């Protein structure tokens, strides 16, 4: 593997680790990078799970040490996601790209509007979270989607935790990372069994993810809710612009790789 590819994988991994720890949507960059470097889309989708696992492990360990995570609540929400993750990874049916883009766009708009206009103080530091039966259903569906595609699962979790469970933005991100960490090994195992994981790409990119997640969870989270709110809004706007065709992350990465 050429050094320019190694550097590109690590550098993009750092960016993705920061984005996914503080907001979400970084896997769009990961899968775009993998396909630009020659991996088939199915292989890129499976390989992405290595980086996802490593970055969320790094962030979760940090949040536990800082007492920002209620592990019990995280485990309760992880169970339906695990079930859905396995089912989604095994599913062979095709998800229409147009329907996916419409649904993903609606989710991004809901989160964007919610974050900008809802300034009420809610739950803090992962305590006193009320988990209702409907939340298990939501997280089961989220797990299914995450097992099949994964891209955007962070925003789906944020949509439920912010909108329905009334968490603040910091707590929602902490719970998001833990749930994804617990569920991802199951979908990764399915892709590994089916030979759809490039371990070299995954581990090198994952190294960058660890660095990015470490920086975000140790320092950037400490910059406060205002910073995370602004950061999330910016990333959501970029993802939405890519989704509707105003910008193309795929073209940008291809241009950078060819430079």
Q: Where do the structural domains in the chain lie, given as residue ranges?
A: 3-258
Output the CA torsion 258→243→12→16 (10° steps): 180
Share of the chain above pLDDT 90, in %: 24
Spatial contact of 38 and 169, defined as CB atoms under 8 Å apart? no
* Residue 121 in this model has a pLDDT that exceeds 80: no
pLDDT per position as a tens digit, 13-35: 999 999 888 877 788 788 878 88
CA distance 79 to 83: 7
**Could you tell me the pLDDT band of residue 118, with boundaries at 50, 70 and 90?**
low
pLDDT per position as a tens digit, 155-175: 888 888 888 888 887 888 889
More confident residue, 10 or 219: 10
Give the pLDDT score at 258. Answer: 65
The HSE-up count of residue 29 (CA atoms within 13 Å, CB side) is 27
Read off the pLDDT of each residue in 206-223 and give the average, rounded to a whole number: 88
Give the pLDDT score at 6. Answer: 92
**Could you tell me the pLDDT band of residue 82, with boundaries at 50, 70 and 90?**
very high
pLDDT per position as a tens digit, 70-81: 888 889 899 999
More confident residue, 119 or 48: 48
* Residue 122 in this model has a pLDDT that exceeds 90: no
* Residue 198 in this model has a pLDDT that exceeds 90: yes
Least confident of 85-89, 134-138, 218-222: 218-222
0.85 exceeded by pTM: no
**Could you tell me the pLDDT band of residue 126, with boundaries at 50, 70 and 90?**
very low
Give the pLDDT score at 173. Answer: 85
Give the pLDDT score at 123. Answer: 44
Q: Which of 169, 178, 176 is nearest to 228 (CA)?
A: 169
Give the pLDDT score at 156. Answer: 83
Q: Which of 88, 82, 86, 24 is nearest to 55 (CA)?
A: 24
Spatial contact of 77 and 131, defined as CB atoms under 8 Å apart? yes
Share of the chain above pLDDT 70, in %: 86
Spatial contact of 245 and 36, defined as CB atoms under 8 Å apart? no
């Amino acid at each position: 593997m050429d050094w320019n590819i190694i550097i590109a994988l690590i550098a993009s991994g750092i960016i993705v680790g920061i984005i996914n720890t503080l907001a979400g949507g970084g896997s769009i960059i990961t899968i775009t990078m993998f396909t630009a470097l020659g991996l088939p889309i199915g292989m890129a989708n499976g390989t992405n799970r290595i980086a996802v696992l490593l970055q969320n492990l790094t962030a979760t360990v940090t949040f536990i040490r800082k007492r920002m995570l209620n592990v019990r609540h995280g485990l309760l929400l992880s169970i339906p996601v695990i079930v859905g993750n396995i089912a989604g990874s095994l599913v062979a049916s095709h998800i229409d790209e147009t329907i996916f883009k419409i649904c993903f766009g609606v989710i991004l708009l809901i989160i964007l509007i919610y974050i900008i206009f809802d300034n009420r103080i809610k739950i803090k530091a992962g305590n006193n979270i009320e988990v209702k039966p409907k939340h298990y259903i939501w997280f089961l569906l989220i797990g299914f989607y995450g097992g099949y595609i994964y891209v955007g699962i962070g925003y789906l979790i944020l949509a439920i935790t912010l909108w329905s469970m009334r968490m603040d933005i910091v707590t929602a991100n902490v719970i998001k990372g833990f749930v994804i960490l617990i569920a991802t090994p199951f979908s990764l195992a399915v892709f590994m069994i089916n030979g759809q994981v490039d371990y070299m790409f995954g581990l090198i990119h994952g190294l960058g993810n660890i660095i990015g997640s470490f920086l975000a969870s140790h320092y950037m989270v400490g910059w406060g809710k205002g910073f995370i709110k602004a950061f999330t809004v910016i990333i959501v706007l970029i993802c939405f612009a890519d989704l509707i065709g105003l910008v193309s992350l795929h073209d940008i990465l291809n241009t950078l790789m060819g430079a």
